[in-house]
Amino acid sequence: MKELAKTYDPKGIEDRLYQKWEDNKYFHAEVDRSKKPFTIVMPPPNITGQLHMGHALDNTMQDILIRYKRMQGYSALWQPGTDHAAIATEVKVINSLKEKGINKADLTRDEFLKYAWDWKEEYGGRIVKQLKKMGSSADWERERFTMDEGCSEAVKEVFIRLFDKGYIYKGSRIINWCPVCKTSISDAEVEHVEQTGHFWHIKYPIIGEEGRFVEIATTRPETMLGDTAVAVNPDDERYTDIIGKKLLLPIVNREIPVIADPYVDKEFGTGCVKITPAHDPNDFEVGKRHNLAEINILNDDATINANGGIYEGMDRYEARKAIVAKLDELGLLVKVVEHVHNVGTHDRCKTTVEPMIKPQWFVKMEEMAKPAIDALQSGRLKFVPESFGKTYMHWLEGIRDWCISRQLWWGHRIPAYYCEECGEMVVSRDMPEKCPKCGCSHLKQDEDTLDTWFSSALWPFSTLGWPNKTEELDYFYPTDVLVTGYDIIFFWVIRMVFSALEQTGTEPFHTVLIHGLVRDSQGRKMSKSLGNGIDPLEVIDKYGADALRLTLITGNAPGNDMRFYWERVESSRNFANKVWNASRFIMMNLGDEQPTKPEAADLLPVDRWILSKVNTLAKDVTENMDKYELGIAVQKVYDFIWEEFCDWYIEIAKVRLYKKEEDPKAANAALWVLKTVLANALKMLHPYMPFITEEIFCTLCPEEETIMLAPWPEYTEEWNFAKEEADVETIKVLVKGIRNIRSEMNVPPSRKAKYFIVSPDADLCELFASHKDIYSQLISASEIDVQADKAGIPEDAVSVVIPNAVVYIPLEELVDMAKERERLEKEKAKLAKELARSNGMLNNEKFLSKAPQAKVDEEKAKLEKYKQMMEDVENRLAQLK
């Protein structure tokens, strides 16, 4: 038999094994009607992305599920791909062009896109290579890209269908605007960052009532240039008399009305709210209800436009200072209060986002949201944990129309065309030859591209060939499980659900498995600004992919954040070493001959115990995996391998292995059980630690080409040995009790002792007497007497109490009396000196008066410790005498 290397070296096996898997197409899933399909779509990482801990966790969880289902005999497809990441990629390309001295403004759209595609070809596959380092067994032969030909056709098809149905329209509504990237951005790209700002309290004069004002408070004084009303709550008695009256908007000197709207919280602030419909989403809705004018005061670069009068051309923050100064000069600035609040910033360039009214393309959401709500309420869609269903429902029930247009060149261009003669707009798959209204042949395509989320919302079905009726779509769709972080429920999960229901009539998946964030050891979110991010590739380079994967899943509960500790990775690496060394020991004892299955009569109770344990483990782990309790499942496998198999069974089996020549039949039984149990344990560990399990399994079972396609262990009644399982568990309690007392008394393992086991329970006595061969080696026994009473047991015997029995060990069996007395006398003398020193210090007035209190307290604690230690030593000496 081929042997394992002496030491486990991940670097020596991981790349080699991954290449083997790819060469043999083990990841590839085929349409096979004789098998059940199981499908997961990989949340497509951005082509600008680099592997981080969030990716590592997300993809490890998906890989665990896909490997598990593959071993269960499913045609398991893990559909991979990458996202074009419109804004992020455009920024990267612009920056790379700057380094070459090229300005985007000097390029045509086509010239820029050529550079963008070149950039994608050079850097877009980087994260895929990194995912492979993690051991991700995705079907890379089916890899897709959100802007490949098929996905692009799907995007165009959906746009036209929704437009024809009246669900897509072009209009002016409030959107998130990035003044640096000069594009609208989605809610997903707005990061709310806590900032220290101010509330400026300003007086707005009531027209016709000299000396009377309303007081408003704002965090953005510059937006008052676009105010078109002040709102109060209709039930607020303080302001009932001014509803309908006019105010004079300071500086601008425009008359604006006081309106009543329930949007205003009368308990917050002054109860008066300035309404700027063009620059606040809530104000926009209030404005619609009251037919207020919408006055945009900002240019695309966040400078003040012509509507800002004398402030035109100023940067928004420059204008803020000037306006506040002017209000103060006019006596209209009441006070300035420091205020900590969350400010929306663009997650790419970190610029503060401006809500602005812009003509954009939108998707009507009210009707499409209803089937998505019903999907959860009916149970056809479920979240793990269930609590995240509330987040899903909350967002859908308050959904607003979705802004889908972006002012970018990289992305799916909107298939809308405008007649340059009469302005007629046509939505079409291709450029029309002539205008349907005036017959002009000069048409121009809309300059905007679609929101990246528009294409990724179609991912579960566009990747399988939709809108074409492909075999893959018919077989693998709908998919089964979506694995994603809780921070992306709104933006991606919901959009996939309503898009799939609208286009395919069915939910895109039945389960959404939510995981938390990977935080640093202090519980902080990993970020570039904090510099606390940990590169998964660095961890892999140091400890191997298996150790990282095990660390990310151990103790991981769905939906909960986890902390990353290097110590835990070391612990995972130590476990890998334990598995490796135990496997190597077994293989060395197997030699070139494979053991044969023993007759039932040749199996010892301890053999039946471990077979029963691994049998129960298969049932429990399968149940946990099916419930997506991946952390619980792997902990059970870990505990079984480390404790039951390595620390107990292998140690017990060694006796028969070392007597192979004397009793080959007994050795064969032990070796068969060792190999069988190890193979089953490796299979259950494989989804979590694919590399080490593959290397060991294929060495242990040379007749198998890969563990990936080996059948998943299933519970069998043949291995249900409940009695033997209970018996050996009782023996383990006995052994643990004896080992504990020996450890407490510093008895070396090599020192053998005589044991008396006393129990009035005849069945228990029979168990301990008939199973001495199992445990005598484990407790270093010279002799074991099992009896019903204490007859013949020395008075000085040490006792170990276990359920329904007491173990007695004569003291002289455990300890060399003379040597122990000598050691204790030395310890007593040493403690006497420490007690004298400590008492001397604490009785010294000079020390007590000058030493810091902490030092005095420390010395007092030492004194108490020495007193206790002296008492223990004296008691031990008295016992020995």
Q: Which residues are annotated as a binding site?
A: 528
The 3-state DSSP class for residue 458 equals coil
> Do the beta carbons of residue 222 and residue 323 sit within 8 Å?
yes
CA torsion angle 231 232 235 236 (round to 10): -170
Backbone angles phi and psi of 450, in degrees to 5: -85, 150
> Do the beta carbons of residue 873 and residue 830 sit within 8 Å?
no
The 3-state DSSP class for residue 754 equals strand
- Distance of alpha carbon 138 from alpha carbon 64, whole angstroms: 11
- Strands laid side by side in the 229-232 sheet: 246-249, 254-260, 229-232, 272-275
- Distance of alpha carbon 569 from alpha carbon 549, whole angstroms: 9
Residue bearing tokens 């980087």: 126
- Distance of alpha carbon 29 from alpha carbon 476, whole angstroms: 10
> The tokens of 794 are what?
């020395």
Backbone angles phi and psi of 294, in degrees to 5: -115, 110
Q: DSSP for 526-555? A: P-TTTT----HHHHHHHH-HHHHHHHHHTT
CA distances from 678 to 590, 610, 646, 672, 718 (A): 13, 10, 10, 10, 18
- Strands laid side by side in the 753-758 sheet: 781-787, 753-758, 805-809, 798-802
Q: Widest CA span of the chain, in angstroms?
A: 118
CA distances from 105 to 115, 448, 533 (A): 14, 16, 35
Residue bearing tokens 């110590």: 567
Q: DSSP for 3-49? A: PPPSS--HHHHHHHHHHHHHHTTTT-----TTS-EEEEEPPPPBTT-
Alpha carbon 101 to chain centroid, angstroms: 41
- Distance of alpha carbon 112 from alpha carbon 106, whole angstroms: 9
What residue numbers does the annotated binding site for ATP cover? 528
Q: Give the Cα-Cα-Cα angle 590, 594, 598 (nearest 5 degrees).
A: 100
> Do the beta carbons of residue 640 and residue 624 sit within 8 Å?
no
- Distance of alpha carbon 849 from alpha carbon 833, whole angstroms: 24
> Do the beta carbons of residue 314 and residue 322 sit within 8 Å?
yes
Q: In 3D, which of 218, 267, 281 has the Cα closest to residue 238?
A: 267
Contacts of 117 (CB under 8 A, 6+ apart): none
CA torsion angle 305 311 316 318 (round to 10): 150
CA distances from 137 to 55, 128, 143, 490 (A): 14, 11, 12, 28
Residue bearing tokens 């437009």: 163
* HEC sequence for 725-739: HHHHHHHHHHHHHHH
- Distance of alpha carbon 605 from alpha carbon 225, whole angstroms: 87
